[in-house]
Amino acid sequence: MKDKTTTTEQAMALIRDGDVVTTTGFVQSCIPEMLHAALEKRFVNEGAPRDLTLIMCAGAGDSKGLGTGRLHHDGLLRRVIAGNFGRMPKVAQAAQENKICGYNLPQGVISQLYRACAAGQPGLFSKVGLHTYVDPRHGGGKVNSVTEEDIVKHVEVDGEDWLFYKATKIDVAFIRGTSADRSGNISMEREALTLDCLAQAMAAHNNGGIVIAQVERIVEDGSIKPKDVKIPGLLVDCVCLADDPDMHRMNYGVQHNPALSGEIRVPVEGIAKMPLDQRKIIARRAAFELPPNGAVNLGVGAPDGVAAVANEEKATPYITLTTEAGAVGGVLAGGSSFGSSANADAIIDQNQMFDFYDGGGLDLTCLGMAECDAEGSVNASRFGGRLNG
């Protein structure tokens, strides 16, 4: 039997110049902080690895330098494919200054592309992104002038317009879990979300790459029940123990909340109410549209207040609120905990949630925006000199 536990230094030494690296993490939650810090440390000390491609779905950082924000050093990254640049402002600045290549693709498309990579497929057909700046007729998701390669194509199938997103093979996957045995089997009992860890691990493994997992504890082989194993040890190469609790926080604002991980259920009456301000007025107006017995998605920012209003008005039992990160039901969390849910009915993988959304499963969604014109065209991507995503 192979013992896959190792140090972060030994794990980072396996990453080569030019590798394609993907990482889990959603906004401020479920981020393998120790692995990002170790990669940064190796580059600062050794000048290697260089010219990496970073692929990720949502932002994964605190917007002040943690998470993927650690990877801003000149020469570390050559290219970024991401659904959000706002959580790593120095990396976004490098893209705006033409120092690196960059693509801003839809979060759900990237999430589903992990599965395409795992299955050895060339890419993904989707209608998501048609007629936006992701459409190759309007820029193909490229964020600057030095980004030349086309990774999105416009195609026609049976008379219908589609976008074809090219799958980029993955060499290294950074994932995160709660418990791991020495064979690499990983469970997520204290995690708020499962995200795309399984698909990312499978994509890297099937490409002959490496999977590096950050976990909270090491357990004896055989002590994790088979149905509780979220990532089989078959897919995992390195298991790194997060011996510093600050490197394995549930999110940047919460060390651990068992209600968000589904370990306990809490009385919803005790969940904090929003103060009566402009954000609450907007959230209350949106809450008027909640359909009884409907499936609803809430976006980040102002929309997360809709969950607080629905709970305050005791409407939560009569609707099913969801987040694209995979939370189904309960009282959706806001702030640093956005993406997770207290008293959730279920937590599914992010790519599965986007399958549900893309297939038309939602009755309503409440989304945030930076700008909107009189015709209803929305900008949530570039504003105030920022590349957000």
Q: Which of 328, 330, 322 is nearest to 303 (CA)?
A: 322
pLDDT per position as a tens digit, 296-345 = 999 988 898 999 999 999 999 999 999 999 999 999 998 899 999 999 99
pLDDT per position as a tens digit, 117-165 = 999 999 999 999 999 999 999 999 999 999 999 999 999 999 999 999 9
Q: How many residues does the chain have?
A: 389
pLDDT confidence of 386, banded at 50, 70, 90? confident
Task: Taking residues 4-23, report their average pLDDT.
Answer: 98
Q: Average pLDDT of the chain?
A: 96
Task: Taking residues 28-51, report their average pLDDT.
Answer: 98
Per-residue confidence (pLDDT) for residue 272, from 0 to 100 = 84
pLDDT per position as a tens digit, 156-190 = 999 999 999 999 999 999 999 999 999 999 999 99
Per-residue confidence (pLDDT) for residue 5, from 0 to 100 = 98
Strands, DSSP E only, in 184-247?
186-187, 210-215, 217-219, 238-241
Cβ-contact 86, 386 below 8 angstroms: yes
Q: Which helix (H) or strand (E) holds 126?
A: strand 123-126
378-389 exposure pattern, b = at least 16 Cβ within 10 A, e = fewer: eebbbeeeebbb
Q: Catalytic residue numbers?
A: 324
**Sign of torsion over alpha carbons 156, 157, 163, 167:** negative
Query: 0.85 cut: is pTM over it?
Result: yes
Spatial separation of the C-alpha atoms in residues 19 and 258, rounded to whole Å: 36
pLDDT confidence of 287, banded at 50, 70, 90? very high
Q: Which helix (H) or strand (E) holds 376?
A: none
For residue 2, count CB atoms less than 10 angstroms from its CB and return exposed for 0-12, middle for 13-18, buried for 19 or more: exposed
Residue with tokens 């064979």: 183
Where on the phi/psi map is residue 357: left (φ > 0), alpha (ψ -120 to 50), or beta? alpha
Helix, strand, coil share (%) of the chain residues, nearest 5: 30, 25, 50
Cβ-contact 311, 336 below 8 angstroms: no
Cβ-contact 173, 200 below 8 angstroms: yes
Strand partners, 133: none
pLDDT per position as a tens digit, 263-276 = 999 998 888 889 99
Question: Max CA-CA distance within the chain?
Answer: 64
Q: Which amino acid is located at 273 in the chain?
A: K
Q: Is 221 helix (H, G, I), strand (E, B) or coil?
A: coil
pLDDT score of 1 more than 80: no
Spatial separation of the C-alpha atoms in residues 238 and 8, rounded to whole Å: 9
Residue with tokens 């987040």: 323
Strand order in the sheet with 172-176: 101-104, 77-82, 52-56, 20-23, 172-176, 210-215, 238-241
Cβ-contact 304, 296 below 8 angstroms: no
Per-residue confidence (pLDDT) for residue 213, from 0 to 100 = 98
Per-residue confidence (pLDDT) for residue 300, from 0 to 100 = 85
Backbone angles phi and psi of 369, in degrees to 5: -155, 160
pLDDT confidence of 16, banded at 50, 70, 90? very high
Cβ-contact 192, 340 below 8 angstroms: yes
Spatial separation of the C-alpha atoms in residues 319 and 381, rounded to whole Å: 30
Residue with tokens 């999430």: 111
Cβ-contact 130, 83 below 8 angstroms: no
Considering only CA atoms, give the Rg of the chain.
20
pLDDT confidence of 384, banded at 50, 70, 90? confident
